[in-house]
Amino acid sequence: MANSTDLIPRHAEDLVTEALTDTRVVLVNGARQAGKSTLTRVVAAQTETTVIRLLDDPATSRAAQDDPTGFVDHDGLMVIDEIQLQPELLRPIKVTVDLDPTPGRFLLTGSSRVLALRALPDALPGRMEIIELWPFSQGELTGGADGFIDAAFAHGPDLNHVSELRKRDYLERIVRGGFPEAVRRTARRRAAFDSYLATLIERDVLEIANIERRGELLKLLALLAGHAGGLLVPNALAGRSGLPRTTLIRYLELLSTVFLIKSVPAWSSGQANRAVGTPKLAFVDTGVACHLLGQDVNRLSEPDGAAGAMMENFVLMGAGSPADLVAGTGAALPLSNQGQGGSRRRHRDAGRPADRDRGEGGGDGTDR
C-alpha cells in the first residue's frame, strides 16, 4: 500500500474522506495516471476493514464478471479501481447500499466519465458522490493553496500580486504539466507522454467506442493541440482535419470522456448567452499539449512558438474555468463534470483540484 508520507499531498484527500462519512458510494473520476489509485489507497489506509479490488488484474476482472454480487459482498469499505472496466458492478452495488445504507461502503475510481458510458446499467441516483481528480495543481506542487479565484472575488480590481517567477519558469511548468509521471521525470519525459497517449488511445478510447482508423484520432489530437486556448468551432476543425463533421464531434466527445480535452463554455453574465456562445478548447494537461506540438521551453519561447496559447490553457486549467464561475453569487467553482440529471456541488478550494458532486444520474502518485 502506498505510503502517504512519500507522496505529494492532494487537496482532494479531505474531500474524499469527508464524502465517505455521509455518502454510501464515492467515485473518484479523472484522467488516467492523474493519481486516483494512489489517492484512494491513502484514504483507504485510514480504515482497518478496507478491501481493495483492482479491475486491471485479469483474474480480479474475471471474478467480477462471473459473480458480480459476490464480488461486492463486504461488510466494510471496498475500493474498486477502474470501475469503467466492469460497469455492470454498479447494479449489485446499488442493491447492496439499498439494503444497508451505511455511509462509506464503496470507494470507486474511473478513468472515463463513468456516467457517460453507454454500457452503464445504473448511475446510482441519489447514492453516489463524484469527486473529480485532475493532474497536480500548482498549489499541490509547491505545497501551497490554489486561491486565485477566491482572491479575485474577494479583492476585485484591487487584487495585486507580484510573482517571483520569470517567463521561462512559467514555460517550464507548462511543458512539464501536472501528471505525476511527467512531474517525476526530467529526462525522457517525451517517452512518458508517448506511452500515456498510446495507452489512452489503444485502451481507454477503444473501451468505450469502436474506432477503426486510430491514425485519424492521433492526427486530430495534434490539430487540437494547435487550437488549445482557441474557439472550438467544429465546422472549421472538420475542414482542416478532413473528417466529416459528425465523426469529428464523436471524436471530440470521446476525448472529453477520457479527460484529455475540455470544452469551456463561453462566459457571459446571462445563462442564455452562455448556452449559445462559442466554447473554447482546453487540454486537461499542458504538458500533453506541448508534447503533441513538439515544443519544448526553447521552442515555446520563439516568436512563432505557442507560448501564448499554452499560457492561456495553463491559466484556464490551473486557476479554474470561467465557465464554472457562478454569475452574480460572488462564488466560484472549480472545473467539474456537469453530471446527469442535476448535481449538488460544494466549493472547496478555488484551485483546479477535485470537485465534489452529488450525482443524481449520475508527490509521487504512481498511478493508473
Q: What is the pLDDT along the chain (368 residues), one digit of tens a residue?
A: 344 446 899 999 999 999 999 999 999 999 989 999 999 999 999 988 899 999 999 999 999 999 999 999 999 999 999 998 898 899 999 999 999 999 999 999 998 776 665 555 556 777 899 999 999 998 899 888 887 778 888 898 898 888 888 999 999 999 999 999 999 988 889 999 999 998 888 887 877 777 767 788 889 999 999 999 889 999 999 999 999 999 999 999 989 988 999 988 877 666 655 555 789 999 999 999 999 999 999 999 999 999 999 999 998 887 653 333 333 233 333 333 332 222 333 333 323 434 444 443 333 434 44
Distance CA 315, CA 274 (A): 20
Please name which of 352, 282, 354 lies closest in space to residue 138, comparing C-alpha atoms. 352
Alpha helices in the chain (DSSP H): 12-22, 36-44, 58-66, 68-71, 90-99, 138-142, 148-155, 167-176, 180-184, 189-199, 206-208, 214-225, 234-241, 245-257, 271-276, 286-293, 297-301, 307-319
Confirm if 93 and 14 have CB atoms less than 8 A apart: no
Structural domains of the chain, ranges and CATH numbers in brackets? 4-134+337-359 (3.40.50.300), 159-330 (no CATH)
* Half-sphere exposure at residue 344, Cβ-oriented, CA atoms within 13 angstroms: 8
Q: Give residue for cell 481507454.
A: 204
Q: Give residue for cell 454569475.
A: 327
